């Protein structure tokens, strides 16, 4: 078994075997990647204690050694060419904040118009508008997200 958490974030060790299981080299079960640690040893996978020292991979002819081109080169290119983007949780939090903001502004404007119709002064209606918008802001959002992330990190 191999610990792939540094690459994939999966907390459970992944089983490896000598059998070719998938056409995609990133999905097959017979390849261990750089920076992954062997948690449970196996013949032909673990060459040193916890670290793979090299790779013997054949393309076509089973006796042809394969050191560092094609699949490992593609993997290195993919890993080095990654653009830094927003994490999925950052995207979800941003979406949630936009949703809450839209609801707050809609309710604020609705109550502003309603208060003007009911005969309140312009200043009172604006104060009411600001109060409704501020009241809809989730003040505990930061604390809730922090606690959830901490609990998730402890579980991992």
Per cent of the chain over pLDDT 70 is 72
3-class DSSP assignment, residue 132: helix
Could you tell me where the beta strands, DSSP code E, fall in the chain? 2-3, 37-38
Q: What share of the chain is helix, strand, coil (3-state, %, to 5)?
A: 45, 5, 50
Q: How far is CA 30 from CA 46, 54, 57, 132, in A?
A: 12, 14, 10, 59
pLDDT band at 30 (very low <50, low <70, confident <90, very high): confident
pTM: 0.45
Quote the pLDDT of residue 140.
81
More confident residue, 52 or 9: 9
Given a contact cutoff of 8 angstroms between Cβ atoms, the answer to whether 56 and 24 are in contact is no
Stated as kind and residue range, the H or E segment containing 127 is: helix 122-135
């Amino acid at each position: 078994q191999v610990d792939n958490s540094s690459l994939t974030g999966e907390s459970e060790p992944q089983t490896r075997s000598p059998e070719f299981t998938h056409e995609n080299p990133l999905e097959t079960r017979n390849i261990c990647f750089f920076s992954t640690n062997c948690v449970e040893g196996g013949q032909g996978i673990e060459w040193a204690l916890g670290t793979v020292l090299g790779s013997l991979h054949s393309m076509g002819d089973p006796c042809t050694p394969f050191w560092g081109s094609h699949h490992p080169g593609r993997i290195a290119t993919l890993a080095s060419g990654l653009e830094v983007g927003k994490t999925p949780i950052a995207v979800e939090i941003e979406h949630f904040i936009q949703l809450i903001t839209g609801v707050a502004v809609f309710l604020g404007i609705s109550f502003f118009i309603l208060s003007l119709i009911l005969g309140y002064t312009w200043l009172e209606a604006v104060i009411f508008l600001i109060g409704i918008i501020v009241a809809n802001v989730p003040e505990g959002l930061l604390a809730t997200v922090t606690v959830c992330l901490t609990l998730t990190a402890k579980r991992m």
